[in-house]
Chain A
Amino acid sequence: MKKLYYDAKKCTACKTCEIVCAIGHSPSKDLYTAILEDNAALPSVRVYAGQDENYPMACRHCKDHPCVSACIASALRYDPKEGLLFDKEKCVGCWMCIMVCPYGAVRPDFRDSKSVRCDLCADIKDPRCAKNCPTKAIIYVEEKAINV
C-alpha cells in the first residue's frame, strides 16, 4: 500500500500540513469558513520540532497495530491494502488507542469524545498534507518504492 514518508531535514515546521489536514476534514473544507465552524476538525498530523530536524507525526498505519487490539469498541480494523480503518461512529472515546500508540500519533478530541487519526484523506485518496507540503518534505508513495 501507499504510505506517508517524511524528510525530517526538509521539513521547516511551517505547519501547512496541519492546516490543510484540519480544513480537509472539516465540514466546509474551506479555510475561511472552517475557522468559524464549531465542529472544525483537529489536524490528525502534528509537526514536532527536533534539534536540527522536524518531525511530522501522523498515524503510520503500522503493520503491527496495537491500537486495533486495544480498541474496546471494535472501531478499528486493519486492511493490508488500505491500512488502518477507523469507524468513527463506533468510537466511544475510551482512549485505549492513545494508551498504546508507540508514536503518540493518535489524539483525543474531547469535544465529541472521538479519537483523531490520519485516514490518508480517504475521501480524495490523496493525502492533502503531502500534496500541499511547500518543501516536499512529505511524500506519499508505495512502501516498496522507498528505501529508508
Chain B
Amino acid sequence: MKRVIIIGNSAAGISCAEALRKKDKEIKITILSKEDYTGYNRCLISYYLAGDIKEDKLVYKPKKFYSENDIELLLNKKAGRIEPKKNQVVLEDKTRLDYDYLVLACGASPKLPEIKGIHKKGVFGFRTISDAKGMLELLPITQAACVLGGGLIGLKAAYGLKKRKIEVKVIVKSPQILSQILDKESAGMCKRRLVENGIEIVSGSEAQEIIGEGDCKAVKLDSGKVIASSIVVVGKGVKPNIELAEDSGIKFEEGILVDEYMRTNIPNIYAAGDIAQSYDPILEKTAVNALWPNAIEQGLIAAGSILGEPNKKYPGSVGMNSVEFFGLPVISFGITRPQDGFEEIVFKDAQQDIYRKIVLKNNVVKGAVFVKRIENIGILLKLARLKVDVSGIKDKLPRPDFNFAFTKDLQYDKEEVYI
C-alpha cells in the first residue's frame, strides 16, 4: 500500500489529504503537525482576537474528519530532516517514517527583526491560535500594544486589539501602510479609517529594542522615543519554512520551487501552500503567494498529481487580498503600484470613500484595487488570469456599475448559462 506523508496540517495539507481520500480509499495518509490543534481556519484568528467570533468557529476540520477519512494525524510532531534517497522523513524525536510520496505543506513563519528583546514574553507573530490566545491572556494586564510593521497581518492584529479596547500604535518605517498590496491612494484611505477609529500610525520609525525584564514592557524606537507596551505584534511579513529543504537536494529560492503539478525537482516530493514558489501568471515569473485560496488549490493539484491525473495543471497563483477595517472593505490583486509601461484607469469618489483602480499593460489587466465598492472585482481577476485584451472596454472597467454584461463582447467565457 502506498503511503503519503504530508508535513503541515493547514489549508494545503488538509485539502491535499481530503482530495486524496476522495479518489483513493486505499492509500495511507499521514499528516504531521508541529501544532497542537486539528485543522483550524488560520485566517480567522484576527476575528477571534477581535472578539467577532468564538473559538468554536475557528474549527476547520474537527477530530472526526481525520478518523472518518482514515487520515493519521500526528500532532506536536516536528520533522527534523528529509532523506529523499531513502524516502524517509526523520522526526525531531528521531523516529523515521517511510513514504512513497511526500507533500511539503509546512507553511511559513513570521519574520522576526533581529533586535534586542525580540524573544521576550509578550512579543508575538500573528499566525497561530497560540498567538491569539497568548494575546488574549495578556489583555487584563494590557493597556497599550505596539504593532511593528504596516502590513496586512500587523494591521489585522491592530484592529483586533483596538476592538478589545487596547491602545494601539503601529510603527511603520515607510510612509505608506499596506505597501505590498495597495497603492498610495487606497492605503491612505485605509490609514484614515484606522486613525479615525483610534489606531495611531507612527510613520518613519523602526523599533530598535523591546524593553522589559522577561516580560515586554515597552518598545524603543530608532528615533529614541519609548512607547509603553505590554503586547508587541511583529507584522513584518512571513518567510516560507524551507528549513527541511536545505541540504536535502530539494530546490528552493524564497520558497520551494514547484512546477505546474506542484512537483519539486525530486519526483515524489511535492510542495503546496505558503511554502511553495509557483508560477504567477500576472507577474509572469514564479512567486510565493502565501494565501489561503492558493494553498487550498495547490493542495488539490498536488493530490491530483499523486493520483496520476496529468490533465489537472495548476493555472498559477496570484497575489490577492481582501480586508475590511472598521467598515471599509478593500480588495486588491496583482500589480497595484506599477512602474513605467503600465496604464492606470481610476474611478474615485472621495466623499463616499469609493476608489476603483485598474492597472493594465498592453491592454491586459495586471492588477486592481477596489475600495468600498468591491463588487465584480473577480471578473477582472479572471480577465487578468486569461490575459484577455480589454482595449474595447477598458474605460468602463473601473466604473462602479461595471458588471459581467460589459465583458460580453470579449467572448472569453464559454457562456454555459446563457442560451
Could you tell me which residues of chain A, from 24 to 61, have a CB within 8 Å of some CB in chain B?
A: 46, 48-51, 53-55, 57, 60
Taking the closest CB of chain B, its distance from the CB of A82, in whole angstroms, is 17
Interfacial chain A residues near B327, Cβ < 8 Å = 110
Cross-chain contact B57 with A73 (CB below 8 angstroms): yes
A101 partner, pick from B53, B378, B416, beta carbons under 8 A: B378
Chain B, 378-419, contact with A by CB distance < 8 Å: what is the 0/1 string? Answer: 110110000000000000000000011100110001011111
Interface size class of B (residues with CB under 8 A): 35 or more
Q: Does A135 contact B (CB under 8 A)?
A: no
Knowing A72-B43, A74-B60, A98-B322, say if A92 contacts B52 (CB, 8 Å): yes
Contacts of B296 in A (CB 8 A): 69-70
Contacts of B132 in A (CB 8 A): none
* Identity of the chain A residue whose Cβ is nearest the Cβ of B378 in the assembled complex: A101
Query: Which chain B positions have C-beta within 8 A of A103?
Result: 378-379, 404, 413
| Minimal beta-carbon separation of A58 from chain B (angstroms) | 9
Per the 8 Å Cβ criterion, residues 350-404 of B in contact with A are: 374-379, 381-382, 403-404
What chain B residues lie within 8 Å of A51 (beta carbons)?
408-409
Known: A5-B419, A74-B60. A96 touches B375 (CB 8 A): no
Count: A-B pairs, CB below 8 Å: 124
* B331 within 8 A of partner (CB): yes
Question: Which residues 94-108 of A sit at the B interface, judged by CB distance below 8 A?
Answer: 94-96, 98-108
Q: Point out the residues of chain A lying under 8 angstroms from B418, CB to CB.
A: 5-8, 55, 148
Within 8 A of A (CB), among B75-107: none
Residues of chain B from 42 to 82 with CB closer than 8 A to chain A in the complex? 42-44, 47, 52-53, 57, 60
* A104 close to B324 (CB less than 8 A): no
Choose from A53, A90, A104 the contact partner of B404 (Cβ within 8 Å).
A104
Q: Which residues does chain B contribute within 8 Å of A92, judged by CB atoms? A: 44, 47, 52-53, 57
B43 and A94 contacting across the interface, CB-CB below 8 Å: yes
Q: B329 contacts A5, CB within 8 Å? A: no
Taking a contact as CB atoms under 8 Å apart, the answer to whether B408 and A96 are in contact is no
Q: Which residue of B lies closest to A57 (CB)?
A: B404
Assembly CA distance A100 to B331 (angstroms): 10
B328-362 interface code vs A (CB 8 A; 1 in, 0 out): 01010100000000000000000000000000000
Q: Please, how many angstroms separate the alpha-carbon atoms of A60 and B327 in the complex?
A: 28
Q: Mark A60-84, 1 if CB is under 8 A from B, else 0.
A: 1000001001101110000000000
B375 A3 Cβ-Cβ under 8 A: no
How many chain A residues touch the partner (CB < 8 A)? 43
Q: Interface digits, A92-127 against B, CB 8 Å rule (1 contact, 0 not)?
A: 111110111111111110100000000000000000
Instruction: Verify B378–A98 contact, CB threshold 8 A.
Output: yes
CA of A148 to CA of B333, assembled, Å: 32
The answer to whether B417 and A6 have CB atoms under 8 Å apart is: yes
B-to-A contact residues, CB < 8 Å? 15, 41-44, 47, 52-53, 57, 60, 292-293, 296-297, 300, 320-322, 324, 327, 329, 331, 333, 374-379, 381-382, 403-405, 408-409, 413, 415-419
Pairs A–B under 8 Å by Cβ, sample size 18: A5-B419, A48-B405, A51-B408, A51-B409, A55-B405, A72-B43, A73-B43, A92-B52, A94-B322, A95-B331, A98-B375, A99-B333, A99-B374, A100-B293, A101-B378, A103-B404, A148-B418, A148-B419
Q: With A57-B403, A100-B320, A103-B404 given, can you name 20 additional A-B contacts, CB distance below 8 Å?
A: A46-B403, A49-B405, A53-B408, A55-B405, A55-B408, A70-B293, A70-B296, A92-B57, A99-B321, A99-B322, A99-B381, A101-B378, A102-B379, A102-B381, A104-B375, A104-B378, A105-B404, A108-B375, A146-B419, A148-B416
**A interface with B by C-beta (< 8 Å):** 3-8, 46, 48-51, 53-55, 57, 60, 66, 69-70, 72-74, 90, 92-96, 98-108, 110, 139, 146, 148
